[in-house]
A = this chain, B = another copy of it.
Amino acid sequence: VNNAADMNVHPPRRPTMRDVASAAGVSLKTVSRVVNVEDGVSGELVARVERAVQALGYRPDERARNLRQGDARPASIGFAMVDVANPFFSAILRGLEAVAHEHDCLLLSGSSDGDPDRQDQLIESFISRRVDGLVVVPSGDQLGPIAAEMLHGTPVVFLDCEPREQQADIVRSDHFGGAIDITRHLLSRGHTKIGFLGDDPSIFSAGLRLDGFRKTIAEAGLRVQDDWILTGHFNPNEWRTKVTQWLEAVEERPTALVTAQNFVTIGAVQALHDLDLHHTTALVGFDDVPLSDVVEPGISVLPQQPGRLGRRAGKLLFQRLDGFDGPPVREIIESPIIERGSGEIAFTPG
C-alpha cells in the first residue's frame, strides 16, 4: 500500500485483468466472465468486479484476447487501395467502414500509390496483424502475398479488378464496356481524332479501359495513334500541366478526349480551359466530379459508384466470414453516360 514512489513513475502501468482480479478479490477467470458479460456470476461478484474495473480504469487488451481466441469472431479486416486521397477510393473506404462498423470489426487500410512493392508491404503488414479478411484494389497484376494468404482460408474480395487464375469474389465496374460506350459516344459525334488520358495501364481498371478504347477505335476503322495516348499516376495539378504541354506539343491535336479517371478529368478540363479549347474539344470522363454540372460546358461522365462498390465488397466479405461457402461471386456494375455538354460537342471540320 506504500508504493507511492512506484505509482508515480512516469507512465503509470496500465492495469491488467490480473490487477482487477486482485483488487476485487476474485480470480482471473471471474473478471474475464464479467468483462465479457458471460452469465453464471453472482450479482455480488459482478458488482465487485465492475467497481474494480471502474476504479482502475481497466480496458481489455484486444490483441491478447484475439491471440488466444483464434477464429472466433472477425476482429479486423484490411483494405489495400491505390490512393486514399482520391475521392474514388475514399468513397469506397467509407462504404467499407460502414459495413465493418456494423459488424463491430476494425478496418485497416492503406495506399500503395500504384506501386506493387508498396502494396505487397501493405498486405503483409495486414497479414502479420492476422486480419480476418481482405479487400483489395490491386496495383499491377501480381497477387504477391495474397494468394498464399488465401490458402490459409482468409477470404479476399477483389475490387474493381479481376485477377487471372484466382478463384475469389469480385466486385467491379464494367471498365471495358464503359470505355467502349464512351468512345462510341464520341465517334458518333463525328470525332475521328480521339485522345485517351488515364492511369498507368498496369492498374487493372486502367488497362481494361485503354483496351476498350483501342478496340473501339480499331473497329471504327481508325488508327490508334500512340501520341494520342497519355498515361501515368498524377494528381489533378500535375495532369493539368501534362495535358497542357501535350496539347501544345502534339503534332495533330485530337478533337475529343476520353479521361479515364476523376483526377485526369479535372486536370484535362482545366487544361482545355487554359488553352480555350473547352468549347471545341469534346470530353467524356470516367467517375463523376464535383461541380461538373456547373462548369461551362457541363462535363459528361460515366459515373462509378464507389460507395456502393465498397459496401458491396464489405457485405460479400462478411458473408464469407460468416461461413458462406458458395462459388465465387462476380458482380460487374454498369453505368450509363450522363450527358452534360462536353461529351456532346460535335466535330466541326476546319
Contacts and interface: CB of A to CB of B under 8 A. Distances in A.
Interface of A: 10-12, 14, 57, 59-64, 66-67, 83-85, 87, 89-91, 93-94, 97, 101, 106-111, 124-125, 127-130, 148, 151-153, 236, 266, 269-270, 273, 289-296, 307
B59 A63 contact: no
Contacts of A128: 59-62
B97 A84 contact: yes
A125 B105 CA distance: 9
Nearest to A96: B84
A191 B196 CA distance: 46
A107 B89 CA distance: 17
Contact of A62 (B87, B91, B107, B129): B129
A291 B271 CA distance: 11
B106 A129 contact: yes
A196 to B, nearest CB: 21
Contacts of A290: 236, 266, 289-291
A139 B336 CA distance: 38
Contacts of A109: 109
Contact of A57 (B84, B94, B148): B148
Nearest to A15: B152
